[in-house]
A and B are shown apart, each in its own frame.
Chain A
Amino acid sequence: MATACCTPLSTERRSANALVVALAGNPNVGKSTLFNRLTGSAVETANYPGMTVGLNVAAATWAGQEVQLIDLPGTYALDPVSEDQWVARHGLLDWQPDVVIAVVDATNLARNLYLVLQIVDLGPRVVIALNLIDEAHRQSLRIDPRALSQALGLPVIPTVARRGEGLDELVATAAAVATGSDGLGRGRAVRYSERIEAQVADLEAQLADSPRAVPEGLPPRAAALALLEGDDELTAAFEPGSAIVASAERATLAVSIAAARHAAAAAVAEACTEGQAAAPAADRYWAATTSPITGVPILLAVLASVFAFLFFVGGWLSRLLTSLWGATASPVLASAVHSLFGYGALAGTLLWGLDGGILAALAVGIPYILTFYFVLALLEDSGYMNAAAFLADRVMHLFGLHGRAVIPLMAAAGCNVPAIMGTRVLSTKRERTIACTLVVLVPCSARTAVILGSVSLFVGWQWALFVFGVLGLVGLVAGVLLNRILPGEPEGLVMEMFPFRRPSLRLVAVKTWKRFGTFLWAAAPIMLIGSFALGALYETGLIWHLEWPLHPVVVGWLGLPAVAGLTLLLGVLRKELALQMLVVFAVARYGSRAYNLRTFMTPHQIVVYALVASILVPCVATIAMLGHELGWRRAATISAGTVATALVIGGAISHLLPLM
């Protein structure tokens, strides 16, 4: 489907003839499903500078009318107190949509209407998509859309976004409201208590007299309410000490207004709903995922399955693809390149890039990344992700992370690349930086293969366990240290727990493919370029010249043979390449018996080698993904950090082991 690319946001993007339609709603009410159903064409993600939460914008055509559809982040409210709410609020204010489609969850009407009432207070035209109406029926909740429409003064269309039901009517109504000139879709604003209303009226009057225009084009009542609710940004737009700021500050009624709005929402919901909700059977089973006695074993089983799935199924697929590629594409590419460029260094370099590079992208991309994104989407859409986060939260807190980090960290043992993208489930940059660093320190399947293929095979399994133990310790210390060093505080956890929803395969597939696209565009090209570069080093023989500069570190400090240093360098392309090239180089240098590492390395050297290879710089694909997700500076810092750690740990072990 779409390619995600980030563009800085400006309101100029609003095109002249198109209707601008915004989708707003709480998280997990089917808003994105609706968005995908209504658009389907290329989606752009627009980011506000410094914000990790973006707005999805897509074009559509409704009955010949051009439409720009904006998917606001799912939020419970529009107060600028959290990043997602800030973006949702600015999305509404900056884009000035002709109509807002407020998607509400019919099974939790009261809480959902709070946001609707807040949007109505802001002033745009609103149409309500009463979504998940089928879920509500299943829970024996009957909601009268006409009563709801009358109570709110807004058109209400029942929908089942998953199946596309009610969408035609929704689109027609939204278009009619957007182009209609009367009060259609203006809604009935909440009348607050007399005291609040008196203050609103007072502020409104002052705003009308003020020489300065109301910022952000807000209607006076909306601006007055926002000021009373303690909106810092709006307050900042007026001169400090001015009468308006002073009277707003004297009476910040944020909580009272919130309480009144909740009460109004609850009253409307109650008046339009018949029947007491009966928890469906699925919900009762679902409760087992959060109850500690059953939940912890379930969590461990899920984590073990994710790990096993990536490690074994991913590994098997990877080997299968590699041998398929070797049997089919490789010979074709080789003969093509050789016939065009002969057998020189150029041909060799090209083959490294075309043959090795594409294979690397393929052997990582499909088996590990595609499969993990699929599993991740499944866990998210079913609602299990939050249950896992709930149970794992305390442990993750050690590292200043939320419980949600447990899934990407576990996935990292399969492959770091998708795990880094998986850290998007975390909300702050601080958390994501910590999580990404930890992900990079988790030995992926390729590094595990290096450890098993060297230490386990030539030294003994106990020593392989020792290596894993050291790696675990490094990760633990790194996490605890980062939590202390990085500025900022870990945020308190406030997370909604969603009921079980059967994931729609179509939506899971769409989500998987979207994320896979990011890998294809961000990481795959860099893997190819890296392959060409390393290939050129190797084919031209330049790599042998690096032996000397590396000598003091590799031989002097780490106590490894000089060739080992070169292979550590090549391991940056693909981690398992480190071991493969070690054998190749050793055979070139020491003769054919060197396929056995013990002929030229001591057991201690093999242990140190495996440790350094595992900690040292993540592979190119991982670095590329880090750069894409955290920015190049942080990616470089994390990579440099791993080099330093690898040298310190490797050197220390190399000097300590002989003493033991």
Chain B
Amino acid sequence: MSAPVSSIREPLITGGKTYHQITEDICSPTEKTPSTAWVIAFIISVSLLAFYVFCVAWTIWVGIGSWDLNRTIGWGWDITNFVWWVGIGHAGTLISAILLLFRQKWRTGVNRAAEAMTIFAVMCAGQFPLIHMGRLWLGIFIFPYPNTRGPLWVNFNSPLLWDVFAISTYFTVSLLFWYTGLVPDFATVRDRAKGIRRKVYNFLSFGWTGSAKHWQRWESLSLILAGLATPLVLSVHTIVSFDFATSVIPGWHTTIFPPYFVAGAIFSGFAMVQTLMLMTRKVLKLEDYITLAHIESMNKVILATGTIVGVAYLTELFIAWYSGYIYEQYAFYNRVLGPYWWAYVGMMSCNVLSPQLFWSRKIRRSIWWTFVMSIFVNIGMWFERFVIIATTLARDYLPSSWSYYRPTWVEIGLFVGTLGLFFTLYLIFTRVAPVVAAAEIKSILKTAGDQYTGPNAEKHSHAEAQH
């Protein structure tokens, strides 16, 4: 039944697994009591989350004045964090949608966790525009609902409103896609469970039976959702970049922003997937499903997108010079050599120089290098957004309003706090849901398992798999 596989393809599932072992390996972490490492991580995350709640309450009580934003720099850490989180939230759907359309089998090992990460990252991102409003309870005004003020509609021509639609659509579609993939796996967990746990998982699995017709529709649905999510994922960061690109601020007003933001989003998203997956595979002992081949593939994506981002940075500088437009030229001169030069250096070294190390196969396949690099990329991409926002605003048209900006403890607390929110959600996810898409892993076992393909494949079983 399986398609012939090139024997030089590296196996994606190692350890000579059977279907039952796959179920065992993937479902058992949800059935055991949590490990000490998990408990410690959870306590830290929840503490950060509590601090986040405190900082939000502080912001709302005291007002946005508790951040050190000023008349010149109206967007500081908050929008930086927003764009950073949205960017991170791009890898999951990219892995599950675009790689599904491209029939990349290695996606099955990481798609579940990456999609979960996407959803949690978008949740974190969504916090910032809301808190930034200062009056959180008026957040509903951003939706066009019939109201008693006219009805007065929202401005459909504004990129900030496009953002509302893009991000809420992205969140909804990612959630549906992720959950539909989870349903068969929840059924697997249900059928291993007893008592109340069985009832809970039956509720979560929507009564899934595994009927042939259901599977057929499920596959069809996954494929179409992937087809829809592919342009969606590209549109979301494009629209986020419009927040800047449609303005008339030198340094923001550039047509290169959409592709550059999308590449940056994939870049930072994959870095975050690496950070999480390297820890997850170790703690949950999933090394047979998230192999070095997976890590290497993701590092290649990081290298490619990191290089695209680098080219975009250089293009910006070139175009600023070539345009002959002094305000644009000054914006970029200031970006590189102005008061925030250190952020530019951080961005360039973390995003452009450090991924180039991945040209070396040895480094691509080294877990420690990958982990360190993924942290670098996360930091670098945060700097990128900070550079775009703060350096540009700090030196605007009027020298009399030039200023400098430092975050207060509240802003730092909000950022660190969303990390707490993110990790709390992720840690809960690793406890309640199968972290690897078990059904999808089973469906590629005969073409990607190491007993069927790769150097250690048993000769007879390879022939058998080709019936």
- Answer yes or no: do A and B interact: no
Show the binding face of A for B, using Cβ within 8 Å.
Answer: none
